[in-house]
Amino acid sequence: MMATSAHTVAAPARARTAADSVTLGRKQGFQHGGWFVAPFLVLFALFVIWPLLRGVYLSFTDANITGESTSFVGLDNYREALKDPLMWDTLGHSAYFTLLVVPCITVLAFLLAMLAHHIERGKWLWRLCFFAPFLLPSTVAANLWQWLFNPGTGMINHVFGTETPWLTDTSYAMLAIVIETLWWTVGFSFLLYLAALQSIPGHLYEAAKLDGAGAWHRMIHITLPMLRNITGLVVALQILASLQVFDQAVVMMDFGPGPEGATRTFVQYTLEQGFTSYRVGYASAISVIFFVIIAAVALARMWLLRNREESAR
């Protein structure tokens, strides 16, 4: 920079050398970046890529947890998985959980953010109240709610004067886990919405007010369209996280599968196959199936985003 400014009035030949030294500087500075990336890549290769490849390999074998006498079984594990009613059941439980949690959390997070955004006093206090549960470990939040849902000694039945067998009845057990999850994780999506609300330029609302638009119109025509991207993000993150539900389900059910297996999630099933039945080969096969599902969701989102960007152009 110094060189170019000093030579702007100089002869063309000298100006070229100055420009050369800039490119030279850039090249020297930015080449051979492999060393920057190396430490991460080592860890990434060992603990992400290698397990993935290993999982694919093991899925074609009958490996057990001790790793002894493994033999190749071709597609047997996958054939078995497709016919395994428990795999489909547990996949269904995780999908059902996702279907309940995602819309609820999105709407609730939006409403809480609107509330915290529009109350003029004590903003930090609302933020603290709505976000604090997210700071608890999953297991602690689950224990709290297990205790609240407890049929006799728990507060929920007592407060509402009900006798609902929350944790022991097939039709309520998953619902209890969903309610716990809403309380525990809504704070994260709430913060994303709050940040998005705060970044909407105020002059948009002022202009709309001058044009005589009421509060309802301003929300429909300014707030909601401006929050479209963030809603897409919240929904995508929640789908990916909810499909992988595990912690709260096992803790609230005392590490069991819930009443008649109603809350056994897919992740729980893979771990049971691997660590309780010692069938590492089979567990790997259903993990690979799960990975394909997760990857499909993530790729679908990328595809949607790209389409939208192109249509916006």
Q: In degrees, to the nearest 5, what angle opens at C-alpha 115 toward C-alphas 111 and 120?
A: 165
Segment 213-242, which members bind other proteins (CB under 8 A)?
A: 229-230, 233, 236-237, 240
Instruction: Name which of residues 113 to 172 contact other proteins (CB under 8 A).
Output: 115-116, 118-121, 124-133, 135-140, 142-145, 147-148, 152-155, 158
C-alpha distances (whole Å) from 16 to each of 3, 19, 27, 30, 57 are 11, 5, 16, 21, 57
- 41 interacts with other proteins by CB under 8 A: yes
**How far, in Å, CA of 199 to CA of 226, rounded?**
9
Q: Whole-number minimum distance, CB 95 to other proteins, in Å? A: 15
Size of the site for other proteins (CB under 8 A): 103
Q: By three-state DSSP, how is residue 245 classified?
A: coil
Nearer to other proteins, 40 or 216 (CB): 40
Q: Rg for the chain (alpha carbons), in Å?
A: 27
Residue ranges in 68-107 that form contacts with other proteins under rule CB under 8 A:
none
Q: Which is nearer to other proteins, 171 or 190 (CB)?
A: 190
Q: How far is the CB of 37 from other proteins (least distance, A)?
A: 4
- State the amino acid at position 100 in one-letter form: L
Interface of this chain with other proteins, residues 243 to 302, rule: CB under 8 A: 244, 246-247, 251, 254-255, 267, 270-271, 273-275, 280, 283-284, 287, 290-291, 294-295, 298
Q: In degrees rounded to 5, what are phi and psi of residue 202?
A: -65, -25
Exposed, middle or buried by CB within 10 Å (0-12, 13-18, 19+), for 1? exposed
Q: C-beta of 148: minimal distance to other proteins in Å?
A: 6
Which of 33, 74, 202, 212 is in the footprint of other proteins by CB under 8 A? 33
Interacting positions 175-194 with other proteins (CB under 8 A): 183, 188, 191-192, 194
Looking at 29, 74, 85, 202, which residue binds other proteins (CB under 8 A)? 29
Q: Which of 6, 10, 21, 228 binds other proteins (CB under 8 A)?
A: 21
Alpha-carbon torsion (279, 285, 291, 294), positive or negative:
negative
Which phi and psi (to 5°) does residue 220 adopt? -70, -40
